[in-house]
Structure 1
Amino acid sequence: MLTGQVLLERIQKNVGVPWQSQRSDGFSDGILHGSADTSVTGIVTTFTPTLEVLRRAVASHKNTVICREAPFYSRGERAPLFWRNSPAPPKEMTDNDPVCRAKQDFITQNNLVIMRLVENWDARRSDGQLRGLVRALSWEKFHFPAKSLDEYDPRNVRFQLPKRSLGRLAQELQIKLKIHGVRVIGDAASSVSNIALTHGLLLVADSERMLREQGLDVVIAGDAVEWEAVPCFADLVTAGKVKGLILIGQQASEEPGSGEMAEWLKSFISEVPIEWIPAGEPFWVLS
């Protein structure tokens, strides 16, 4: 029988890196909510287990959700809410907050198992998040990885596209990823071709590493701190060092990786159906 514990052990066996249950900074992979003895009826992968995702999982008779982000808007109780660093929120939050309590009740009543898989997934030689995003964009033929590294090594972020304007590139991302909240730094008319594509949070250190290679026109990332990497790129554009920065949103940049994870799980789990249910971009924008 495939239980939550058996599923976790299969993942640990197949992930290809020494398993980290708990990092020193508190981040944790494994079963966050539900019983490890629960019989798995189906598996859903998703960026973040919103109540809508959980409802869709239940409706499709799948009781196990494997997510990148935890379900209670928090990573624990050792730091301020903005950046909590352990696998679960403080108990008083889930006990007393009506939103958390309602969500916890839904998880319990429907016998759901919530499993987080991030640190070990990201520790693999091949970056599943990058691969998923590349496939979502159909950019495989534009990828120019360093031959000394795995094709989807996290450092292999360079792509060479046919020349187009920065504005057109942003529009293409919006259409292909079916998103609304694309933000751009740079002249929309600038001609761009050499791209660095990454996912998640862009740090100043990331941009410095990418810019060591000559000829980079634009960086595409999920999001960036508006008082760190954003003004850094504004200054880089003004100085003529790079032509632009495109931020597609954390969810939009990470969600295709959950689709990649679903396909990976299918390679060694055959007893139950596996489905990727995107959490979906949470925003709409004024036109």
Structure 2
Amino acid sequence: MINRRKFLNSTGKAIGSIALLNIIPGVSTAINLPPQHTVQQVIDIILKAGNLNPAAGTVDTIKAGNADQPVTGIVTTMFATTDVINQAVKLGANFIIAHEPTFYNHTDDKDLVKDNPVVKEKLDLLNRHKITVWRFHDGLHSLNPDPVGYGFLQKTGWLKYYKDEQYSIQIPAVSLQQMVQHLKKSLGIQHVRVIGDLNLQCRKVTVIPGAAGGKWQMSAVVADNPDVLIVGEVSEWETAEFIRDSNAQGRKKALIILGHALSEEPGMECLVSWLQPKLPGIKITHIASGEPFTWM
């Protein structure tokens, strides 16, 4: 995107050039401008390119804004936070593609808590700047390969160990301590939560970003028998206790909890490189929403 001043300057120069060309016989004054897409047209391009057919009840819907609005720029992110919205405004982008909810519950029910002033102010901010937010969750995970898992392996340097569309991989043995340091550095994470012996040698790794739930996480440990399970978040009374008892029973296992947003952020970053060639006339930027916690 170019800002308003640059736009006016560029437009002035273009008008001047056209005026000059108009007095030169045989010179065409046609200008080839990039095609402009509406929000709905961009969504349709994504669905067609991904061969996606949204199921009934999908959460992949517009959460705020207008489907018919021409797109001036796109931002991908995990959460359309207030800070992300303000950064989008500065970029001149009016379409945010978010992976997770904008209004603090899975279906983005704005009336989940009646008269919620935080929801009202956020909606007012979006409306004031004419920004449309579309959630791309179910569809993103339906792409092949899933950009979330693929992006995670790409950013950690483990993509070379990826086979058969599975996210249980074999890597050269490292201690749990070394793995934690690698994940923190490669993913830009300051703190992680860990269960297990820090000297445990980890070769087989199962990666389940996000919040897949205890059943999925525990089933993967039983089926894959990894040395370490890496997840976004857990219900502490489910997977965490399961791993603790596994160790107490002599089954040497480790659990690394990265944080929900931080574990899936590489997927929304990866989406930019997938989508940009399909929309050459629109600038697409990834803005990391980060984590909300301060570690004391």
Instruction: Judge same fold: TM > 0.5, yes or no.
Output: yes
1:226 is the counterpart of 2:257: no
Which of 111, 118, 126 is the equivalent residue of 1:90? 111
Which of 46, 63, 69 is the equivalent residue of 2:77? 46
Aligned residues: 260
1:115 is the counterpart of 2:134: yes
Change in 2 beyond 3 A, CA 1:40/1:163: same
* Structure 1 residue 17: Cα displacement: 2.7
The alignment's TM-score, normalised by the length of structure 1, stands at 0.85
Which of 18, 34, 37 is the equivalent residue of 1:2? 37
| Letter of the structure 1 residue corresponding to residue 175 of structure 2 | S
Unaligned runs of 5+ in 2: 1-35
Residue-by-residue CA offset, 1:186-213 (whole Å, 9 max, x unaligned): 0111121211112012423332234323
Q: The residue matched to 1:7 in structure 2 has which SS? A: helix
* Structure 1 residue 116: Cα displacement: 0.7
* Structure 1 residue 92: Cα displacement: 6.5
1:12 is matched with 47
Residue-by-residue CA offset, 1:12-55 (whole Å, 9 max, x unaligned): 211213223x42xxx42122210111110000000000000000
| Letter of the structure 1 residue corresponding to residue 43 of structure 2 | L
Change in 2 beyond 3 A, CA 1:162/1:104: same
* Structure 1 residue 128: Cα displacement: 1.0
Which of 208, 230, 236 is the equivalent residue of 2:219? 208
8 A contact 2:206–2:224 mirrored in 1: no
8 A contact 1:179–1:281 mirrored in 2: no
> What CA distance in whole angstroms lies between the structure 2 residues aligned with 1:258 and 1:38?
22
**What does 1:1-287 align with in structure 2 at a 5 Å threshold?**
1-20=36-55, 22-23=56-57, 27-75=58-106, 86-90=107-111, 93=114, 96-143=115-162, 145-146=163-164, 153=165, 156-201=166-211, 202-214=213-225, 216-286=226-296
Q: The residue matched to 1:56 in structure 2 has which SS? A: helix
8 A contact 1:29–1:119 mirrored in 2: yes
Q: State the superposition RMSD in angstroms.
A: 1.7
8 A contact 1:65–1:112 mirrored in 2: yes
